């Protein structure tokens, strides 16, 4: 059930109406839980069983950890819970890849290997809800949150349908208390949620889905195109994945807000970042913070104790490599993660050297020049660095990624343009320019933003009607076969 489908619109209208008619917290939570299970089971009831198993495992382990008398028993229960969730994730997401790659390795070494074909369907959103449940159990173990006593509250934390399949990856301390308190109708929350949901669908249906055909054609066979087309497709993909993923997040946050819940912001204008560190503070924020709190900090403390120049940066490279692998079982994702780990480590190392060269050895490594020209150049350079990473992310294989990177500025290739009947590149550039202008206005013009958020009913109705008309007209064909969100595959 996709946000950009008529089926979801009908589903949500029914749930929304019943939810606010019930008013009391407990029946509202029961309704949301059942609706969430229906939403997820619409893909496959087998996936729903896996979701229920994960919920039950962590609910029981959380209670047992909180009541355990010894640290040893708590640690054992933590291992059982985290190990069980990672086993689910590894089996469904990585087993087929490793069996295939191991068989290929044996054949290269001269052994006769019969490679089994494992048709394992990846459960939608398994990476997101698995990390959410692991975060919960680790926080209970660390004493940061109490174990959930009410199974309905906890199961809803795992399965809450707006953010179930593509995040944001919520923390128990933020989301569970919202299920435990009464919700009161708020017209302002409804209006802002509706606006956020419309904007998210606009980014997905109007921008991302129109950029996708151009990107798909080029990356299906990069050798057929010249460097200009390869560069264009890469820039288009940068905006496609941003509008696709942030569009999902905005829609999820808007849908949740209309029900009285606040989901964390997952994107904060990432393409205006001036440094690699800042980019990951703005892009997929919930995943970055998850790895920071549960993996990077423990690794950093361990490696810093070892001493030595290189030890400082091991944690960055390992954490980013695992972020890459989190996206899927493919060498391109590992290359994507390693690339970012090396980029961040190199950036921090350079900043440290510059700090040592300064009088007194003090410099803020995240300080950037106040010069507008310097800021523009930093943002432009950072965007190029980001696009290099997106090549690894989008390419079907490492060889395709290498071809794009090594031929991006060459004139070779059979085609210099994509046929106009497939897609009009000029229109796509106009869409990107419109997106950039809209986000610039939102960031810099408080007066315009306040006027847009005014409560005059005719203005609100007109704005939503216009957005709806653009979304429907742009994605009319997609409503019969809506294009899935990119991050559903993760």
- The pLDDT mean for the chain works out to 83
Is 268 designated active site? Answer: no
Residue 301 burial class via C-beta count within 10 angstroms: exposed 0-12, middle 13-18, buried 19 and up: exposed
CA-closest candidate to residue 62, choices 81, 45, 76, 41? 81
pLDDT band at 400 (very low <50, low <70, confident <90, very high): very high
Average pLDDT of the segment spanning 140-166: 94
End-to-end CA distance of the chain: 16
Q: Which long-range contacts (CB under 8 A, 24 or more apart) does 286-290 make?
A: 286/167, 286/168, 286/169, 286/170, 287/131, 287/167, 287/169, 287/323, 287/326, 288/323, 290/131, 290/135, 290/169
CA distance 262 to 256: 7
- Between these two residues, 297 and 404, which has the higher pLDDT value? 404
For residue 362, pLDDT beyond 80: no
pLDDT band at 413 (very low <50, low <70, confident <90, very high): low
- Between these two residues, 161 and 454, which has the higher pLDDT value? 161
Helix (H, G, I), strand (E, B) or coil at 42: coil
pLDDT digits (tens, 9 = 90+) for 188-197: 999 999 999 9
Q: Out of 46-50, 227-231, 302-306, 449-453, which region has the weakest mean confidence (pLDDT)? A: 449-453
CA distance 465 to 224: 42
- Write down the H helix ranges in 358-485: 372-394, 398-407, 425-444, 446-452, 457-474
- Between these two residues, 138 and 457, which has the higher pLDDT value? 138
| For the chain, domain boundaries | 6-184, 188-271+389-482, 275-367
Q: How many CA atoms lie within 13 A of 433 on its CB side?
A: 6
For residue 421, pLDDT beyond 50: no
pLDDT band at 233 (very low <50, low <70, confident <90, very high): very high
Average pLDDT of the segment spanning 308-314: 69
- Between these two residues, 133 and 316, which has the higher pLDDT value? 133
pLDDT digits (tens, 9 = 90+) for 51-105: 999 999 999 999 999 999 899 999 999 999 999 999 988 888 777 666 665 555 5
* pLDDT score of 45: 83
Average pLDDT of the segment spanning 363-383: 73
pLDDT digits (tens, 9 = 90+) for 260-310: 999 999 999 999 999 999 999 999 999 999 999 998 888 777 776 666 556
Average pLDDT of the segment spanning 422-426: 70
pLDDT band at 367 (very low <50, low <70, confident <90, very high): very low
- Between these two residues, 286 and 460, which has the higher pLDDT value? 286
* pLDDT score of 97: 61
Average pLDDT of the segment spanning 366-374: 63
For residue 445, pLDDT beyond 80: no
Helix (H, G, I), strand (E, B) or coil at 237: helix
Average pLDDT of the segment spanning 404-421: 68
Helix (H, G, I), strand (E, B) or coil at 202: helix
pTM: 0.86
pLDDT above 90 as % of the chain: 55
Annotated catalytic residue within 174, 284, 316, 327 = 327
Residue 419: C-alpha distances to residues 191, 303, 425, 447 (Å): 42, 53, 9, 43
* pLDDT score of 417: 58
Average pLDDT of the segment spanning 305-324: 79
Task: Identify whether the C-beta of residue 364 lies closer than 8 Å to the C-beta of residue 299.
Answer: no
pLDDT band at 369 (very low <50, low <70, confident <90, very high): very low
């Amino acid at each position: 059930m996709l946000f950009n489908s008529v089926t979801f619109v009908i589903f949500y209208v029914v749930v929304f109406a019943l939810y606010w008619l019930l008013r009391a917290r407990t029946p509202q939570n029961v309704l949301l839980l059942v609706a969430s299970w229906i939403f997820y089971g619409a893909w496959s009831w087998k996936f729903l069983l896996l979701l229920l198993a994960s919920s039950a495992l962590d609910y029981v382990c959380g209670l047992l950890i909180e009541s355990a008398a010894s640290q040893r028993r708590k640690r054992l229960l933590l291992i059982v819970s985290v190990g069980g969730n990672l086993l689910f994730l590894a089996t469904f997401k990585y087993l087929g890849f490793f069996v295939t790659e191991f068989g290929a390795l044996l054949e290269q070494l001269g052994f006769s290997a019969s490679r089994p074909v494992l048709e394992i369907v990846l459960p939608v959103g398994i990476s997101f809800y698995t990390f959410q449940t692991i975060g919960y159990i680790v926080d209970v173990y660390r004493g940061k949150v109490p174990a959930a006593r009410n199974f309905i509250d906890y199961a809803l934390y795992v399965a809450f349908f707006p953010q179930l399949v593509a995040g944001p990856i919520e923390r128990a301390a933020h989301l569970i208390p919202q299920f435990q308190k009464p919700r009161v109708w708020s017209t302002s929350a409804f209006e802002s949620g509706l606006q956020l949901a419309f904007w998210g669908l606009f980014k997905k249906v109007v921008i991302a889905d129109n950029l996708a055909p151009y990107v798909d054609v080029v990356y299906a066979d990069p050798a057929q195109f010249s460097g200009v087309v390869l560069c264009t497709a890469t820039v288009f993909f940068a905006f496609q994945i941003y509008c696709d993923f942030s569009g999902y997040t905005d829609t999820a946050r808007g849908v949740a807000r209309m029900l009285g819940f606040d989901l964390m912001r997952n994107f904060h204008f990432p393409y205006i970042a001036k440094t690699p560190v800042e980019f990951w503070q703005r892009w997929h924020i919930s995943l970055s913070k998850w790895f920071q709190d549960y993996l990077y900090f423990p690794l950093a403390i361990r490696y810093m104790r070892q001493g030595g120049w290189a030890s400082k940066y091991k944690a960055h490279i390992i954490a980013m490599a695992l972020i890459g692998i989190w996206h899927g079982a493919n060498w391109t994702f590992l290359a994507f993660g390693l690339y970012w780990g090396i980029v961040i480590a190199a950036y921090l190392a350079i900043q440290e050297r510059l700090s040592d060269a300064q009088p007194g050895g003090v410099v803020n490594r995240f300080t950037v020049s106040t010069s507008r020209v310097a800021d523009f150049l930093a943002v432009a350079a950072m965007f190029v660095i980001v696009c290099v990473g997106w090549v690894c992310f989008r390419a079907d294989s490492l060889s395709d990624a290498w071809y794009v990177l090594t031929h991006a500025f060459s004139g070779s290739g059979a085609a210099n343009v994509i046929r106009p009947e497939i897609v009009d590149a000029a229109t796509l550039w106009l869409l990107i320019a419109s997106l950039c202008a809209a986000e610039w206005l939102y960031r810099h013009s408080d007066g315009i933003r306040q006027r847009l958020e005014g409560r005059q009913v005719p203005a609100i109705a007109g704005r939503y009607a216009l957005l709806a008309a653009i979304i429907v007209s742009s994605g009319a064909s997609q409503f019969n076969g809506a294009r899935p969100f990119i991050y559903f595959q993760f």
